């Protein structure tokens, strides 16, 4: 059996991280892995999380098996976080806990494959590197639509033009905020255009909400999702607590299905639970219990999240200012209007390799950098490096 096992390619991101760790340069810069880092370079445990863990430890709740849908208080809290506290949409939704946001995406992919196996999933290009593998692993067809900038922001006309090819019942996979990897988010008017397109063509949005709170704020970042829910009968949501609560290794997420009315929700829940039962049975409790506690004691958490958001925005602004001082070309300076932890540099693979080899700056081959990984004392050096490699001539493809 093992001799016939196909050779698996190593994950390029983790290969880059290994190369970074073995790089002996003391001034190297890690902009690869997608985690928040503070001004000292650490990924801290939020004080609110530590306080919640103390309360949980003192309560000493049983470690017995829980429900297939996971922690009910967590599910209720996530539904309100995503859709709003006082909205009729809460009566139309079914939310279950999953193994992180990735687990939510895979569960919803399996749900789509069961309910609508001939649907095509339309994913942004560029898009999150794991979206396509997750969808194809569930047996779904995947096509892409362009997600790019013009001189003012998202080129919505190009995205909508590509989506004119989508058929009724197809899935449009959108990032709820802080697009990964580009940092290009729709304006509120553009969200309205996307909702109108989905309604007119009978398309079903699947919103990946991995960064709520890292763009403009917890409530502000939910505008697009909430507008879609208000305009459309069916919406799917995959949400994560990795970033906005710092619960990365706790693998805490949620999958949500919004229907036209409450009637089909019992069957939706039973179907989702059957799919999880055949995969991992039930999700882990600890992270969900922490999150449920934070929903009840939110002041410290939201203040810490606001500080994280401000650090990322300030770092992005300072890098843009440094690039302007260096006379960087406009495509590089465009990162100033993008949002969230990531930006996609207008550099090719050769330039990214030179960035790593000549300057010790590590980003992905596609040009994605983690703004939150940049330390204050590294900003000017990074700006100089980016300008230097941007001036390299393009590499001609071999004949």
Write out the residue limits of the CATH 3.40.640.10 domain(s) in the chain.
65-296
pLDDT value for 398: 47
The pLDDT value recorded for residue 395 is 60
pLDDT recorded at residue 396: 58
Would the CA dihedral through 114, 120, 122, 123 be positive or negative? positive
Residue bearing tokens 């004691």: 297
List the strands of the sheet with 93-99, edge to edge.
93-99, 252-258, 235-240, 204-209, 171-175, 120-125, 141-146
**Percent composition of the chain: helix, strand, coil (DSSP 3-state, to 5):** 50, 15, 40
Q: Which fold has domain 11-45+310-390?
A: 3.90.1150
Return d(Cα 360, Cα 20) in angstroms, integer: 8
Query: For position 62, what pLDDT does the model report?
Result: 93
Residues of the chain with pLDDT under 70: 394-399
Q: Are strands 361-362 and 204-209 parallel, antiparallel or unpaired?
A: unpaired
Q: What distance in Å separates the CA atoms of residue 323 and residue 369, rounded to the nearest whole number?
A: 15
* Helices 265-277 and 100-115, packing angle to 10 deg: 110
Say if domain 65-296 classifies as CATH 3.40.640.10.
yes
CATH 3.90.1150.10 occupies which residues in the chain?
11-45+310-390
Structure confidence at residue 217 (pLDDT): 97
């Amino acid at each position: 059996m093992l001799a016939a096992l196909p050779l698996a390619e190593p994950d390029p991101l983790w290969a880059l991280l290994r190369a970074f760790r073995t790089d002996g340069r003391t001034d190297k810069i890690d902009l690869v892995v997608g985690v928040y880092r503070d001004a000292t370079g650490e990924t801290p445990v939020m004080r609110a999380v530590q306080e919640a863990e103390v309360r949980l430890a003192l309560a000493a709740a049983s470690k017995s098996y829980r429900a297939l849908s996971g922690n009910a208080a967590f599910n209720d809290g996530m539904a309100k976080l995503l859709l709003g506290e006082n909205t009729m949409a809460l009566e139309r939704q079914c939310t279950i806990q999953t193994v992180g946001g990735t687990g939510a995406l895979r569960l919803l992919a399996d749900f789509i494959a069961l309910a609508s196996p001939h649907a095509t999933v339309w994913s942004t290009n560029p898009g999150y590197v794991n979206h396509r593998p997750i969808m194809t692993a569930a047996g779904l067809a995947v096509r892409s639509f362009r997600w790019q900038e013009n001189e003012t922001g998202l080129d919505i006309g190009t995205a909508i033009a590509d989506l004119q090819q989508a058929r009724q019942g197809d899935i449009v996979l959108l990032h709820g905020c802080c697009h990964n990897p580009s940092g290009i988010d729709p304006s509120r008017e553009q969200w309205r255009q996307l909702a109108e397109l989905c309604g007119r063509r009978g398309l079903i949005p699947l919103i990946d909400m991995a960064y709520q709170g890292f763009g403009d704020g917890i409530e502000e970042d939910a505008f697009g999702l909430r507008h879609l829910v208000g305009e459309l009968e069916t919406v799917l949501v995959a949400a994560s607590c990795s970033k906005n609560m710092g619960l990365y290794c706790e693998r805490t997420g949620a999958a949500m299905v919004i229907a036209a009315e409450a009637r089909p929700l019992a069957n939706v829940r039973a179907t989702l639970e059957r799919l999880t039962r055949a995969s991992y049975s039930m999700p882990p409790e600890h992270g969900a219990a922490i999150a449920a506690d934070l929903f009840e004691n939110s002041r410290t958490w939201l203040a810490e999240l606001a500080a994280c958001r401000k650090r990322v925005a300030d770092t992005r602004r300072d890098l843009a200012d440094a690039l302007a001082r260096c006379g960087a070309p406009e495509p590089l300076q465009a990162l100033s209007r993008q949002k969230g932890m990531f930006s996609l540099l207008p550099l090719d693979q050769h330039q990214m390799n030179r960035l790593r080899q000549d300057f010790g700056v590590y980003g992905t081959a596609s040009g994605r950098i983690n703004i939150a990984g940049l330390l204050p004392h590294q900003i000017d050096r990074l700006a100089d490096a980016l300008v230097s490699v941007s001036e390299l001539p393009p590499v001609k493809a071999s004949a």
